Amino acid sequence: MSRNPISEIIRGITRDNPVFGLVLGLCPTLAVTTSVENAIGMSAGTAFVLFFANIFVSALRKQIPSTVRLPIFIIIIATFVSIVDMVMEAFFPPMYAALGVFIPLIVVNCIIIGRAEAYANKNNVFYSAIDAIGSSIGFLLVLCLIGGIRELLGTGQIVTFGYTLISSPINPAMTTMILPPGAFLTIGILMAIVNYQKAKKMAKGG
């Protein structure tokens, strides 16, 4: 059955959103969203790995024995994570330092392994690439939303790559928002809103 590529991308952003839909990748989501800049950096690294991992897993799926598929998936993923790690260290050292251990931990990010197992291992290269694009956009939007809320409330401004996007000084600044409790509070409220909207839609028969 033919599928609409645009619909597949929208699915990754909405219904199968990695964070709010599938509840995957919460560790980096909570850890790196102290700012929009960090959120963009993590999203870009994850998108690169997810895109090429999906393509390679899909292209090789018929040659990979099912008994060793997960170790093979991890080897493929680790190859692209190594590329991201070296590129960030060489060209974006401040971001590399800010993201720290969460760059190599992309290897075990459940979003990437999950999409490789649930989608790329069962679909052709084209749709696996489309799935990666949709999931990557969905992940980016959620991380930027959480990072923006935390950064604005915690520092009174949003500064990305040297540019001040929003400046609205809060006195006193809610510094808790850029600390771990702020991450849990923000994602908890957002998930409650998303789940409420889902329940409301289901109640209406949508």
**Collapsing DSSP states into helix, strand and coil, what is residue 166?**
strand
Greater model confidence, 45 or 201 = 45
**Collapsing DSSP states into helix, strand and coil, what is residue 123?**
coil
Q: Cβ(26)–Cβ(152) under 8 Å?
A: no
**Collapsing DSSP states into helix, strand and coil, what is residue 200?**
helix
Asked whether the predicted pLDDT for residue 112 surpasses 60, the reply is yes
pTM metric for this prediction: 0.93
The pLDDT score that the predictor gives to residue 78 is 95
- Average of pLDDT values for 64-78? 93
The pLDDT score that the predictor gives to residue 175 is 87
- Average of pLDDT values for 35-54? 96
User: Which band of pLDDT confidence, cut at 50, 70 and 90, is reported for residue 152?
Assistant: very high
Percentage above 70 pLDDT, the chain: 97
In 35-68, which residue ranges form alpha helices assigned H by DSSP?
36-60
Local structure of residue 118 (DSSP, 8 states): I
Asked whether the predicted pLDDT for residue 2 surpasses 70, the reply is no
How far apart CA 193 and CA 203 sit, in angstroms, is 15
Indicate the burial class of 128 (C-beta count within 10 angstroms; 0-12, 13-18, 19 or more): buried
